[in-house]
Amino acid sequence: MATTIKPNPALLIQVLKQPDLFPGLDVALQDLLLRQARRAGLLGRLEALLRENDLLKQLRPRVNHHLSSARILVEEDRRMVIWEVNRVQRALWQSGLSIILLKGAAYVFLDLPMARGRHVADLDILMHPQDFPLIESRMAQHGWQQAKLHPYDQRYYREWMHELPPLVHRQRLTELDIHHTIVPPVSRLRPDPQLLFSTARDIPGHVDLKTLAPADLVIHAAVHAFYDSDFDKGLRALLDLDGLLRHGAGDSLFWQQLLPRARQLGLIAPLYYAMYFCKKLTDTPIPDALLAEITADPLAPGIAARMVMKRLVGRIMTPGDPDRLEWLSWLAWSLLYIRSHWLRMPPGMLVTHLTRKGFRKWRFDVRNRRVV
> Can you give the CATH number for the domain in which 97 is found?
3.30.460.40
Q: Note whether residue 86 is domain-resident.
A: yes
- Report the number of distinct structural domains present in the chain: 1
Q: Note whether residue 361 is domain-resident.
A: yes
Of 362, 354, 318, 314, nearest in space to 338 by CA? 354
**Which of these ranges, 13-27, 30-44, 227-241, has the smallest mean pLDDT?**
227-241
- Tell me the pLDDT band of 197, cut-offs 50, 70 and 90: very high
Query: What is the secondary structure of 276-314 as a DSSP string?
Result: HHHHHHS-----HHHHHHHHTSTTSPPHHHHHHHHHHHH
Query: What is the secondary structure of 195-245 as a DSSP string?
Result: HHHHH-EEPTT-TTEEE--HHHHHHHHHHHHHHSS--TTHHHHHHHHHHHH
Q: Please say if the pLDDT value at position 345 is more than 90.
A: no
Q: Please say if the pLDDT value at position 90 is more than 90.
A: yes
Rounded Cα distance between 353 and 37, Å, is: 34
Range of the domain at 321: 11-367
- Tell me the pLDDT band of 259, cut-offs 50, 70 and 90: very high
How much is the average pLDDT of 129-150? 90
Q: Note whether residue 143 is domain-resident.
A: yes
Q: Note whether residue 3 is domain-resident.
A: no
How much is the average pLDDT of 188-193? 90
How much is the average pLDDT of 50-59? 95
Q: Note whether residue 33 is domain-resident.
A: yes
- Tell me the pLDDT band of 317, cut-offs 50, 70 and 90: confident
Predicted confidence at residue 346, as pLDDT, reads: 76
CB atoms closer than 10 angstroms to residue 10: 13
Q: Please say if the pLDDT value at position 368 is more than 80.
A: no
Q: Note whether residue 5 is domain-resident.
A: no
- Tell me the pLDDT band of 5, cut-offs 50, 70 and 90: very low
- 5, exposed or middle or buried, with CB in 10 Å at 0-12, 13-18, 19+? middle
Q: What is the pTM of this model?
A: 0.89
Q: Note whether residue 372 is domain-resident.
A: no
How much is the average pLDDT of 257-276? 96
- Biggest alpha carbon–alpha carbon distance for the chain: 64
How much is the average pLDDT of 44-69? 95
Predicted confidence at residue 164, as pLDDT, reads: 85
Q: Note whether residue 2 is domain-resident.
A: no
Predicted confidence at residue 102, as pLDDT, reads: 96
- Tell me the pLDDT band of 364, cut-offs 50, 70 and 90: low
Predicted confidence at residue 271, as pLDDT, reads: 97
Predicted confidence at residue 241, as pLDDT, reads: 96
Predicted confidence at residue 285, as pLDDT, reads: 93
